[in-house]
Amino acid sequence: MKDYKKDKIAWCVTDGVIGNISQVKGLANAMKLNYQLKTVELRFPWKYLPPGYLLNIDSAIKNIDDFKDDIKPDYIITCGRKSVYLSLLLKSKLKNKVKTIHIQDPKINPKLFDHVIAPEHDSISGKNVIKSELAINHINDDLLLSEAEAFKDSFHSLSRPIVTLIFGGKSKNYIFDESAVINLSKKIDEILENNSISLVILFSRRTDLFIRDFIKTKYSRIHTVWNDEAKNPYLALLSLSSCLICTSDSVSMISEAIYSKKNVYIFRLKSKKKSNKIEIFNNKLLKLGYINELSSNLNFDETKYKNETFAIAEMILKKDIINKDG
């Protein structure tokens, strides 16, 4: 992609959720924009209501002063429900001086944005809507190599291949109870019996304490259970691992694992809902061959997945050039 956008400024605005930050940052990087990460905070009652129920006014944004910079952005890239209010408010003020890009279904008319990027399992369509197979993110080869270098001393003594198990946790969509942890550990034991690997285990912020305690007790004596919360080797292990195992509860986590070009195995958790968008997402990826159901037989070959975020960034830039010239 040409660097003609290097002088363009983007505000990447989220609610502070890590997965949402990964998406806005990934798109801004892929578009080669100079970007600032910002977090929006809403006042009552806006923070509890879907966009469209109340007017978008300055007083709805608790930290509105964070968005009164003298230098205004060329792009506003948002992700998450709360950021929709900020995007609509700034678009009403800046008009055509700014391009707005929202990632995920905004739950409001997509025509209110210049571009909307939504996963295929979301029921949203429109001329300005770009569908993605995965959650777009900031994972790329250079980033992973850099992180692997930063953590090389932490894992240099491990024999290869390395297999990393990444835990999700509390979720409104899935049941992650003691029986699920026991079932997962049985599958891990089968893998360890059938494969000569170094196992590394990572927890997320959502991982319950009882899960952490169970896993540490069972595996930390022989295998690597990462406990240093000050340093997170997540990105490094996406690079250093020969394959990855994820629990099935996070679209972002599974998408980032696929971007690493490693074989990805998922442990299916029991859904709390009859209609679960993440289940639809996982089922589609299984059909596409992007992920595999967790089994005792692992494939350590690198995949040929092409970075979808770069392709979407190129599509947006081309559309903006056409609209400008037109």
What's the pLDDT at 6?
61
Distance CA 269, CA 272 (A): 9
Q: Which amino acid is at 184?
A: L
What's the pLDDT at 1?
42
What is the DSSP code (8-state) at residue 141?
A: H
Q: What's the whole-model pTM score?
A: 0.91
Distance CA 193, CA 197 (A): 10
Q: For 16-85, what is the HEC assignment?
A: CCHHHHHHHHHHHHHCCCEEEEEECCECCCHHHCCCCCCCCCHHHECCHHHHCCCCCCCEEEEECHHHHH
Distance CA 107, CA 84 (A): 9
What's the pLDDT at 324?
66
The string of pLDDT tens digits covering residues 163-175 is 999 999 989 999 9
Distance CA 150, CA 238 (A): 13
Distance CA 162, CA 201 (A): 11
What's the pLDDT at 45?
94
Q: Which amino acid is at 31?
A: M
The string of pLDDT tens digits covering residues 6-47 is 689 999 999 999 999 999 999 999 999 999 999 999 999 999
Taking CA atoms, 309 is separated from 23, 133, 187, 255, 268, in Å, by 9, 10, 33, 11, 26
Pairing outcome for strands 99-103 and 75-79 = parallel
| Omega before residue 233 within 30° of 0, cis | no
Distance CA 323, CA 320 (A): 5
What's the pLDDT at 320?
85
């900020």: which residue's tokens? 86
Contact assessment for residue 37 and residue 15, using Cβ atoms and an 8 Å cutoff: no
Distance CA 159, CA 162 (A): 7
Residue 216's SS3 state is helix
Distance CA 287, CA 292 (A): 9
Provide the residue-wise pLDDT of the chain in tens; the chain has 326 residues: 444 456 899 999 999 999 999 999 999 999 999 999 999 999 999 999 988 888 778 999 999 999 998 899 999 999 999 999 999 999 999 999 999 999 999 999 999 999 999 999 888 999 999 999 999 999 999 999 999 999 999 999 999 999 999 999 989 999 999 999 999 999 999 999 999 999 999 999 999 999 999 999 999 999 999 998 889 999 999 999 999 999 999 999 999 999 999 999 999 999 999 999 999 999 999 999 999 999 999 999 999 999 999 999 999 999 887 676 55
